[in-house]
Amino acid sequence: MNKWLIIALVGLLLFTNGNKVSRKIEPAIAGNEAKSLEKSEPAIRSVGTGSANADDTKSGEKSEPTPARTRTRHTVTATVAKLENIQVKEGDRVKIGQTLVDNPEERKFLETKRRELELAIATNQPVPVPPSPPIADYSAEVAAVESARAMLAALHQTPLPEYRFTTTELIQVMDKAVIEKRQALVLERVRSEQVLNQAIANLQTAKSDYQQRLSDYQSKVMETQRENQERELKQAKFRRDLAELQLNFSNTGATLSPYSGRVRQVKVLGQSESGLKVEIVLLVSER
């Protein structure tokens, strides 16, 4: 009797534990079946779509893989008057043509200086050599001399009136008219000599004046040549200064980014006469 009771109790215990185990296993089996169904759905869908997906799969197998992008460093150097003129910082994204460095104050100063030099070059032009004096013309003076000489010669060829008496007392009393004629002729000869001397003096003065004009002209030519040499030296200096200023202007003006990329480093290289030398390193993506 006790033996069968024990067997019944053991069977009951085994039956109860079996139900519990089955309840635990059934949810696990249901979950695994759900997961397997989820995994199988894409495969089922792909089969349902037909040949289009098959063609895509086939084309995907034939296409080459996309190459990875590489980054290249590009270094840009510039000169700034002060650090505030650097327009970018490390980590900034920049586009091609974007301003990296700008020096508006320095550029304005150089622009003013450039206009001054260009004005100096425009105004510092060579002075033309003055024209030479005209060829001397002494025809009027020579004619006056010849006329005076001929007049004097004619007067010297005119004889003096003869006295009618030989004694001084009688001449003074009886030949007063002769005396007056003789005195008039002598006076006319003297005046003619004075006219001739004045004509000769005028001719010499005209020649001296012309020689003085020639001397003044030669001095003026030499002075003009000297001034033009100085102007040429100044002009050469102005042009050198303008060329140097234009070089500084290109170095000091706005520096634009040659590429699109990211600013990796901004570094001050040192001090120069024109300002601070800076170096900007760009990282540019390339395929």
Using CA atoms of 234, 235, 236, 242 in order, give the dihedral in degrees to the nearest 10: 110
The pLDDT value given to residue 71: 77
User: Tens digits of per-residue pLDDT, 213-265?
Assistant: 999 999 999 999 999 999 999 999 999 999 988 877 766 667 888 999 999 99
**Which pLDDT band, with edges at 50, 70 and 90, does 177 fall under?**
confident
Cα–Cα separations (whole angstroms), residue 75 to 85, 240, 263: 18, 30, 10
Q: Which residue has the tokens 């009771």?
A: 5
Which sequence spans correspond to the domains of the chain?
2-62, 70-103+254-286, 139-226
User: Which amino acid is located at 203 in the chain?
Assistant: L
Q: Who's near 286: CB < 8 A, 6+ residues apart?
A: 69, 70, 71, 72
Q: What is the pTM of this model?
A: 0.47
Q: What is the pLDDT of residues 93-138, one digit of tens each?
A: 999 989 898 888 887 888 899 999 999 999 999 989 888 888 999 9
Residue 135: phi, psi to the nearest 5? Answer: -60, 140
- The tens digit of pLDDT for each residue in 80-103 reads 888 888 899 999 999 998 989 888
Q: Please enumerate in sequence order all residues whose Cβ is within 8 A of that of 254, keeping only pairs 6 or more positions apart, or say none.
A: 99, 101, 102, 103, 107
Q: Is the pLDDT of residue 142 over 90?
A: yes
One-letter amino acid of 73: R
The pLDDT value recorded for residue 111 is 87
Q: Is-contact 80 103, C-beta < 8 A?
A: yes
Rounded Cα–Cα distance for residues 111 and 120 (Å): 14
Q: What is the CATH number of domain 70-103+254-286?
A: 2.40.50.100
Query: Is residue 190's pLDDT more than 70?
Result: yes
CB 274 within 8 A of CB 80: no
Could you tell me the two tokens for 141? 């003076």
178 — pLDDT class (breaks 50, 70, 90) = confident
User: Of the ranges 10-19, 43-52, 223-232, which is most confident?
Assistant: 223-232
**Does pLDDT of 270 surpass 60?**
yes
